[in-house]
Amino acid sequence: METALVQVLIVDDEPLARARLRALLDAQAGVAICGEAGDGGSALVACEDATPDLVLLDISMPGMDGLETARRLAELDAPPAIVFCTAYDAHALSAFEAQAIDYLVKPVRAERLAAALDKVRTFLAGRKRKHDDAVEAAARTHLAARLRGSLRLIPIEDIRYLQADEKYVVVHHARGEDLIEESLKSLETEFASRFVRIHRNCLVARDEIIELRRSPDGSVHAMLRHVENPLEISRRCLTQLRDSLRHL
């Protein structure tokens, strides 16, 4: 299994300490150093610019110390994971109160750093799953078509295919056809797990496709489960479509 790449920002007011951490990280698989900072203020700016996955953060720094920096980082829209690095293990309780993933005592040992990185990867994977679950839970279950001043709700699961028609999209579904005022591109992005593009103007429900059929003239069409007429597949979309269907 490929090791997940972790983008790391090193924050320490001592250049030698940063150099040692950089050397230790260079020896670790799946790690990329995205920057360094020598104080808390610079760390906040660097995190806004580089959006690291992990900040290795010294606690005892002049001005804004590591604990205050961690609290400020936690307020970002995409806060990084924090692992404190310090010579004073008396700070351990405060470190974990600041929601640090781990706590490393200087001089940091390679095996201890590796263990901390494993914890960070587990944390990041869990956070991503929660985000994905939240996105899935928030996904629309219906499209809304305007119909003489009212709205008709079309269940996503009933849609056979979507076809662009000038500024509208025609929704072909189990009970007929309706026009919606949405772009095909936005629908493709929102429902990528359900619909696949077969042409610049057409998305098809993946579970509707039963066969890709080549005509004598060399063109290829999609045969759908509940649609009588085959739909043309553009040459540009054909390779990606085949690859997508192989993974169903």
* pLDDT-derived band at 223, boundaries 50, 70, 90: very high
Ranges of CATH 3.40.50.2300 domains, the chain: 6-137
Contacts of 99 (CB under 8 A, 6+ apart): 70, 74, 82
131: helix, strand or coil: helix
Please report how many Cα atoms fall inside a 13 Å half-sphere around the Cα of residue 133, on the Cβ side: 6
* pLDDT-derived band at 1, boundaries 50, 70, 90: very low
Is the pLDDT reported for residue 139 higher than 60?
Answer: yes
Fold of 6-137: Rossmann fold (3.40.50)
Express each pLDDT in 73-129 by its tens digit.
988 878 999 999 988 766 555 655 567 888 898 899 999 999 999 999 999 998 888
Domain 142-246 has CATH 2.40.50.1020: yes
Contacts of 128 (CB under 8 A, 6+ apart): none
Tokens of 182: 């949405």
Distance CA 126, CA 242 (A): 32
Tally of residues, the chain: 248
What is the DSSP code string of 48-98? HHH--SEEEEES--SSS-HHHHHHHHTTSSSPPEEEEEES-GGGHHHHHHT
Express each pLDDT in 192-214 by its tens digit.
889 999 999 999 999 999 999 99
Tokens of 24: 């230790």
Distance CA 210, CA 218 (A): 19
What one-letter code names the amino acid at 161?
Answer: Y
3-state SS record for 217-240: CCCEEEEECCCCCCEEECHHHHHH
Task: Determine what percent of the chain is predicted with pLDDT higher than 70.
Answer: 92
Q: φ, ψ for residue 124 (rounded to 5)?
A: -65, -40
Express each pLDDT in 44-83 by its tens digit.
999 988 889 999 999 889 999 988 999 899 888 789 999 9
Distance CA 137, CA 47 (A): 29
Ranges of CATH 2.40.50.1020 domains, the chain: 142-246
Is the pLDDT reported for residue 231 higher than 80?
Answer: yes
The answer to whether 5 touches 117, Cβ cutoff 8 Å, is no
